[in-house]
Amino acid sequence: MAHLAMATGFLLILIGAWGALTNRNLLRMIVAFTIADTGVNLVIIAVGYMRGRTAPIIDGAVSAADAVTRIIDPVPQALVLTAIVIGVGVTALMLAYTYRLFEKKRSLDIRDYTDLKG
């Protein structure tokens, strides 16, 4: 299960990377990045997963005393939350950028934005 998730995660990352490298359209690139981000998040979750354990929420079901043996590693889950937030931030920023770029040149092709080079 965990391996499947991890494999899927990596597959998503590769798909995202492939998409970001092959699509010329800015919006498609952003979509590709979100796919890759999702893949990363999946990988993180998969790393933290331990077979047969429960969610790391200490409440009635799991007491603080036996948490160590019963819950899965909470840290990756915490990390993933942060990563998602950051991913959203970056995606939003990229979209804002795309908007500005489109306003300027009415084009979404990345090849049109090579004024700076060398």
Chain residues binding another protein by CB under 8 A are: 13, 16-17, 20-21, 24, 26, 29, 33, 36-37, 40, 43-44, 47-48, 75-76, 79, 82-83, 86, 89-90, 93-94, 97-98, 100-101, 104, 110-111, 113-118
Residue 58 contacts residue 67 (beta carbons within 8 Å)? yes
As a whole number of angstroms, the distance between CA 82 and CA 79 comes to: 5
Q: Which two tokens stand for residue 30?
A: 């952003």
Q: In the complex with another protein, which residue's Cβ is closer, 9 or 60? A: 9
Least distance (Å) between residue 1 CB and another protein: 16
Cβ 36 to another protein shortest distance, Å: 6
d(CA 12, CA 36): 6
Residue 59 or 103: the one with the smaller Cβ distance to another protein is 103
CA distance 66 to 54: 12
